[in-house]
Structure 1
Amino acid sequence: MRRLSPYAAALAGAALFAAPSGAENDVELSAEDLLAPYYAKLESEITLPVAPANVSLAPDRVITRFAFGSCNHQLRSQHMWAQIAATDPQLFLFIGDNNYGDQGWDGDAALTTLREAYGVQANTPELADFRARVPMMVTWDDHDFGFNDGGATFAFRRWAETIYEAFWGSSDAVKSRPGIYESRMFGSDGKITQVIMLDTRFFRSDLDTLDYTPERPPLGPYRPSGDTSKTMLGEAQWTWLDQELAKPADLRILVSSIQVITDAHDYESWEALPHERARLYAMLAGREESGLLMLSGDRHAGGIYRDAPEAGGGETLWELTSSSLNYAFSSTASNTAREPDPRRLTDFISEENFGLVEIDWDARTFTMSLRGSAGEVRVMRTESW
């Protein structure tokens, strides 16, 4: 007798439980619709993991130093939390691949490995100590979304969102809508920082893949798409972003889990949907007047990037990529040589790193740096806005 996979069994069970009977109710339901009763029952029967308690940051606090990072495997060394805390940041932005809950996943609709990964984090003493000292804001990337390179077609995304929101204690605003994007303001009196955390997973269309050729360098499987119906953020998030950029602020920090500016590789990036990147640039150019810095992760390497895209009216845009906290793949020398990039102004730092941004409000400058596993400065640059 052939056994159903966990995914197929869950989907079939949900279909039997949820599908209406009778020809008059013959309505086509999506996989997400069919799974909704299954997840409602599952949520009532289990206790989802919750992150260690986190201190808060007062909305009127002027930010002069914040840190960020990405790509943190829950089963690897957590020593970087102490290194980050030693820089005394007022805020930490955890910007994706905050765990690797998709590794070992067998396709079950319950996303057991993802819940287990969050469970490990819930009992990580280094994370608990850090969150007791440093306020955090969070967004996700693919591995803590639950599916490598996943997007809107991931059938279990709503359950992944439920797990995420329960763990990180998401705000009522985030819980009230699909996706996990959010924005907060900090500061006062001409020193207001807006932090915008995008969701580049929940709504994102599938990317176009390159044709296979054995001669192609191993720099990713995707190619820029000419299909303008594909989306990175989804219309609801685009509308929200436009509204956020119209709010008064002095400096905006825009967080994208995947890289924005670079065209130097074929992994996931905004380059894969060029019409969406042009839309982002145009929207940023039309923002209420403010400084701007973009942050990204994902790459298991980091650096400082600069561009002045025509779609953005020629404004100079800065992006600081930091990755990873504890999951390095290569060396800086080999990665820098492997991925030449005229828009990257530094080496491609491939050993463990986190990002630190220091703001001088009197000089109207921000200093971007990447710090290594011992807290040492790997790259640094100061720019004005």
Structure 2
Amino acid sequence: MMSRNAIAMVASLGALALNGCTVPPSQSAPQSAAEALRPYYATLPGDLPQANAGATLDVSQPIQRIAFGSCNHQHRHQTIWPVIAGHDPDLFLMIGNNVYGDYGYRGDADLETFADAYRLQASHPEFIAFRAQVPMLASWDDHDFGPNDSGGSFAFRERSEQLFESFWRSSETVRARPGIYESVTTGPEGQRLQIIMLDTRFFRDPLETQPYSYEWPALGSYAITDDPDATMLGAAQWAWLAEELAEPAELRLIVSSIQILTDAHNWEKWGNMPRERERLYEALAARNGGGLVFLSGDRHSGAIYYGEPEALGEGVWELTSSSLNYSFRSGDNRDREPDPLRRSGFMSDENFGLVEIDWANGRVTLDLKAADGSSMHAEQLRFR
């Protein structure tokens, strides 16, 4: 394990170079702390943790049922996996906090607690059996990316990406670029489903915090920024997203680890960067056809939302599912967080989301499922 002093020395080398201090002429000055750390990472053992190979997604076939979830702690029970499998999904989306790698993390560059979290998750029989039956795609959130609420300023994000891509057996396309964003289109013409998995961590600028106040509501401490340069996705991912949305599809699922529509709290959300959210709406408004649904997690509660953003120019539904095995409360907590966009309770019991597509009639059912498989709340919408 690299000591904190060693980390500081490596990071200082990058900082000195950036500040114009000289380095030996035989050396190329690192342009960032991340670049300075790469030679060290190259010396670490290459046997990174991996999940079992799992089922393969046949992209030529139409998808009718997708399950998804977030907030799965590797040290907690894994009883929800056979329940989800019992609903026979064609695909499962892990959309963030898939493990809690920051549990016990003390700031080492190796991210050993993250590697240990993946190893433990890979060993659970229920998880192994589920992967053998159901194809999976994954994105991350803060606790499997870095420390709580971390973003692009996390110094060891490149190591985190290595661990993620190894464990989830990411495609060569994902491995070839910074960040872990990904898009998959399935089905023949007339039944094309595009799944866009956004990366809201690797490139995101730091969030602004509210000044301390005794009157703070118990709904988070992040402020709204009007900084025109603040980014959620970063330039490369924004350009990629525009290209993906130019592709034809009859239905698109936009997967974000954090919530998109709501402004009812001050935790992490797209609304903390309203210019970026407007940019997202504008990009989606310019898409090459197809219905639209948002999927999100993060909140340790589940709910269904409906909004009509002006920049989008149409109504859109969002299903938030969290958490798979790490709930903080129980029951319906809607009174704690009033929200005019929410069309359901704010359900804090363990849960997963189910998206069912009726291609023949152009309908989608969004269903928030309890850990026993029963429905907490469902909504049906038309996408054509």
Q: Normalised by the size of structure 1, how large is the TM-score?
A: 0.95
Alignment-derived partner of residue 33 in structure 1: 35
**Aligned 8 A contact 1:14 1:37 in 2:** no
Matches within 5 A, 1:343-362: 343-362=341-360
Superposed CA offset, 1:149-199 (max 9, x none): 011100000000001011111101000100000001110130010111000
Matches within 5 A, 1:10-49: 10-12=7-9, 21-22=23-24, 27=29, 29-42=31-44, 45-49=45-49
SS class of match (1:208): coil
- Matched residues in 2 for 1:257 and 1:31: separation? 27
**Aligned 8 A contact 1:14 1:38 in 2:** no
**Aligned 8 A contact 2:99 2:118 in 1:** yes
SS class of match (1:209): coil
Matches within 5 A, 1:113-132: 113-132=113-132
CA shift for structure 1 position 6: 2.7
1:271 alignment partner AA: G
SS class of match (1:239): helix
The answer to whether the aligner puts 1:7 opposite 2:9 as a matched pair is: no
Alignment-derived partner of residue 330 in structure 1: 329
Matches within 5 A, 1:181-220: 181-220=181-220
Alignment-derived partner of residue 271 in structure 2: 271
- Matched residues in 2 for 1:25 and 1:39: separation? 18
CA shift for structure 1 position 23: 6.2
1:370 alignment partner AA: L
- Matched residues in 1 for 2:12 and 2:273: separation? 34
**Aligned 8 A contact 1:6 1:107 in 2:** no
**Aligned 8 A contact 2:204 2:234 in 1:** yes
**Aligned 8 A contact 1:73 1:99 in 2:** yes
CA shift for structure 1 position 14: 7.4
**Aligned 8 A contact 2:13 2:30 in 1:** no
What root-mean-square deviation, in Å, do the aligned CA atoms of Structure 1 and Structure 2 show?
1.9
Structure 1, gaps ≥5 residues long: none
CA shift for structure 1 position 332: 2.9
Alignment-derived partner of residue 364 in structure 1: 362
Give identity over the alignment, percent: 52
- Matched residues in 2 for 1:283 and 1:63: separation? 25
2:168 alignment partner AA: W
2:31 alignment partner AA: L
- Matched residues in 1 for 2:188 and 2:10: separation? 53
- Matched residues in 2 for 1:166 and 1:26: separation? 29
Alignment-derived partner of residue 309 in structure 1: 309
In the superposition, relative to structure 1, how do residues 175 and 24 fare at CA in structure 2: closer, same or farther (>3 Å)? Answer: closer
Tell me the matched-pair count.
378
SS class of match (2:165): helix
Matches within 5 A, 1:1-385: 6-12=3-9, 21-22=23-24, 27=29, 29-42=31-44, 45-313=45-313, 315-333=314-332, 335-385=333-383
Q: Normalised by the size of structure 2, how large is the TM-score?
A: 0.95
- Matched residues in 2 for 1:345 and 1:51: separation? 36
2:330 alignment partner AA: S
- Matched residues in 2 for 1:38 and 1:113: separation? 18
Structure 2, gaps ≥5 residues long: none
CA shift for structure 1 position 121: 1.2
